[in-house]
Amino acid sequence: MSGANLTRVEAEDRKSIIAGPVSYHVDLDLTQGPKNFPSVCEITFDASVGASSFVDLIADEVSDIELNGEKLDPAKYYADNRVELPVLKERNTLRVVASCQYSTTGEGLHRSVDPSDGNVYLYSQFEVPDARRVYAVFDQPDIKAVFDFTVTAPKSWLVTSNMPVKSTEELETLTAEGTLETHPAESTKRWVFETTPTMSSYLTAICAGPYAEWHTEYANEDGRTVTMAQYCRQSLKDDFAKDVDYLFDITKKGFAFYAKTWGVPYPYVKYDQIYVPEYNAGAMENIGMVTIRDSYVFGSKVTDALAERRVVTVLHELAHMWFGDLVTMKWWNDLWLNESFAEFMSTLATAEATEWKDSWATFTSGEKSWALNQDQLPTTHPITAPINDLHDTEVNFDGITYAKGGSVLRQLVAYVGRDEFFKGINAYLNKHKYDNATLNDLLVELEAASGRDLKTWSKQWLERSGINTISAGVEENADGTIKSLVLTQSAPADHPVLRTHRMAVGFYNRDAATGQVVRTDRIELDVDGETTMVSDAAGKKRPDFILLNDDDLTYAKLRFDDKSLEFAADHLFEFDDALARAVIWLAFWDMTRDAEFPAERFIDLSLKMLSTEHESTTFRYALNCLKETVTRYVAPVRRESVDKHVAEELWNLANEAEVGSDEQFQLITAYLGYGVEGDAPFASNVRGLLSGLLKLKGLEIDNNMRWSLIKALAGVAQMDDDAIEAELKLRDTTENREFAYGARAAVPTAEAKAWAWEASIRDLALTNSQLEAAALGFSSNLTGKLAEPYIAKYYDTVDWIWENRTFHMAETLLECLYPIYADPAELVSAGDEWLESHKNAARALRNIVIGNVDSSRRALKVSTYNANLE
């Protein structure tokens, strides 16, 4: 439906008509349910006299529209998700009464029922433009307004919004039947919230339910006291209580770090963080009330990588309070101004203000690797991507906008200088606070602060797609000193731009006494054009290893000189610096994906590294890439034996790892992904761990590990539906229902795969999290004859999914149900045929399909390369 979309031209036209001050009064009745809730919205605004416009609204029914005291017939004026506004006056008042629908897909106002206790939890998620699913609104970022929210809900609930509660009133009315599921009807209460500051609609928020709560205060740098709160479901409160003080402390460190770094104190009156179920993202930066997925409430053991990621997420959303909320992009093409900056700043804050000092190694392994992958797809785009409509925005929450943007900002800091960079940020925030801004507005302030001409830099880095490769060439003198060190920069043919890089070259040598490889010299320089001579290297003794992009200051693919390559392949595990190891390992992974480094040699290199690596995200990512190499890049005739070898090595490493360590936990978890039907030793090990007959000292079989073991057994046909259902009945929770869906879908039978396929696509009762679990379980071990039918089924179903599911659900289905382990040649052929017949399909849809097909095309190319090495 065209009205569910909004083009940039339409937004510009509407902005030219609608003027401030704009104000909203939104009244929501959340005592109703379980499907719909009443929404009443009154908007006052200025406009061009005599012009016509519209407000956005996605509702099941609109019962009343009143514009400037005149009734408008909803049958005539509400259509295609828009309320038409004819013949506007200089000052206007619009009132719209609607029945809106609760969501189970994480969009709009999500409604979740916790099976542990029957409690109902509501929370909003309005980015990109989903405030319109809850109230009538000019849903675009540059029509900022002030908002007054009034909410009626069951008396026992807690209701929160962007601002503190101004007043409450107990009512005599009862909640509607069915609202509280297993609970009886109860009396109701009305919450009235203070007026918000001027803000964009997508940043408004409402959460309601019987959340558990914790409170504290922060002495803000401007002398004000900022109230702080954290919330979660009642069933999680005991687990969350263990971490609340730590998370408050992390948040306070973030307040102090950002205020000091930018010279702008936290601008709002309160700061709540509410951990919510079935979230379809990591978190959302609603002003004064951040929503965060409650998988970050740890009831079972998690990796250190995930524990660190929670800290980064908390600091990422806090950074948005300034960058994105106080100053907001004018249109979605500058989404990177929000996300790239928050990504960069949250990593900087984590590294400098918390105990996670190796956070830049985490960024390299976890985030930059994501960017490198997406930047080499045919669907790559500039960081400042052209956004013609909302559908374009939907595919831009990706590794380019977040991770490449964050990496490029780190390059910009190195290029202009840290002090100058943050001086420019201070001017930008103060000049545009409570308003909208563009890329040019930012560059103006950074140029003024640094004296650098950033227009050329912006054209190279922000406005052009693709990634450069920097390679080293070394000539030696007879005495072992360096005659010349030359850096060569290249670019792909389809994105032929050479960039200016501020980067460092590190010299590393193996210390004979300790056996460690340590940095012994470092040269920082500008790399510009096709060739750059590292003049400061001439005459120096050639080190064991020359690291391009030491300290990971720039964003590029790396190719080492031959001697350095061989040294690193043999000694990577001995490098003493976590960031250096991450940079080098990522280069080897990139070479493996590019069919320039043998897959089995990469596997051996990675297994050796895993024996000594302690940086958790690098460890996690190495395990993920190891799995992809084994299952997709190794020569097909060697795959079964290599798979068995890697599984055995992971099991041995887990048994040799430090008792109770993060490495032990990750190794066992990875091992569970290597089971194949008929592998008796694997099944015996997993059954032994599950029953307790086999013990790995230090490994706790807690709830989540238990379900990992169950899914592993299901994946090798050693656990059927009845057994899985019996396990669920032992502890029926939101999380365990998701685990159960994933386990059922993993059973390697035609019947189980057919059930998972149909349930994922057509069962509208599944929440977004249950759907994702089923879809991932379906594809996790879909190989051989099991996979064959789903190549054609996938492409026969693509159009139906796109037309009948919301974007978030369609994206999840189209990515997770792709039969990735089927024959890559057949997948490429079928995908190319679909793309040829769907040239006019939505850009977002084509991008998803193109990404899947390119993944199979790469797998075919790399596995063929490795087969030819035999």
Residues identified as active-site: 317
Q: Are 31 and 153 in contact (CB under 8 A)?
A: yes
C-alpha–C-alpha distance, residues 48 and 734, integer Å:
50
Q: Are 698 and 667 in contact (CB under 8 A)?
A: no
Q: Are 845 and 802 in contact (CB under 8 A)?
A: yes
CB burial readout 21-54, b (16+ within 10 A) else e: ebbbbbbbbbbbbbebbbbbbbbebbbeeebebb
Pairing of strands 91-101, 36-47: antiparallel
The token duo for 468 is 């450069």
Q: Find residue 112's DSSP bridge partners.
A: 121
Helix (H, G, I), strand (E, B) or coil at 739: helix
Which DSSP category does 839 fall into?
T
557, 495, 488, 559: which is closest to 528 by C-alpha?
488
Pairing of strands 78-79, 82-85: antiparallel
Helix (H, G, I), strand (E, B) or coil at 765: coil
C-alpha–C-alpha distance, residues 320 and 842, integer Å:
30
C-alpha–C-alpha distance, residues 585 and 618, integer Å:
9
Cβ neighbors of 457 (< 8 A, separation 6 or more) are 412, 415, 500
- Secondary structure (DSSP) of 166-208: EEEEEEEEEPPTTTTTTSPP-EEEEEEEPPPPSB-GGG--EEE
Q: Are 748 and 719 in contact (CB under 8 A)?
A: no
Q: Are 837 and 830 in contact (CB under 8 A)?
A: no
Q: Taking CA 370 as the corner, what is the angle to CA 640 and CA 609, rounded to the nearest 5 degrees?
A: 55
Cβ neighbors of 600 (< 8 A, separation 6 or more) are 634, 638, 642, 866
CA distances to 214, 379, 836 from 846, in Å: 45, 9, 10
Question: How many residues make up the chain in this entry?
Answer: 870
* Burial label, 342 (beta-carbon count in 10 A; 0-12, 13-18, 19+): buried
C-alpha–C-alpha distance, residues 696 and 574, integer Å:
27
Q: Taking CA 596 as the corner, what is the angle to CA 594 and CA 597, rounded to the nearest 5 degrees?
A: 110
Q: What torsion do the CA atoms of 432, 436, 441, 446 make, to the nearest 10 degrees?
A: 50
Question: Which strands form 108-113's sheet, in the order they lie side by side?
Answer: 108-113, 120-125, 206-209, 158-161
The token duo for 386 is 């052209």
Q: Are 267 and 321 in contact (CB under 8 A)?
A: yes
C-alpha–C-alpha distance, residues 186 and 188, integer Å:
7
- What Rg, from alpha-carbon coordinates, does the chain have? 28
C-alpha–C-alpha distance, residues 309 and 294, integer Å:
13
The token duo for 346 is 């949250």
Which DSSP category does 542 fall into?
P
Q: Are 403 and 368 in contact (CB under 8 A)?
A: yes
Pairing of strands 289-293, 283-284: antiparallel
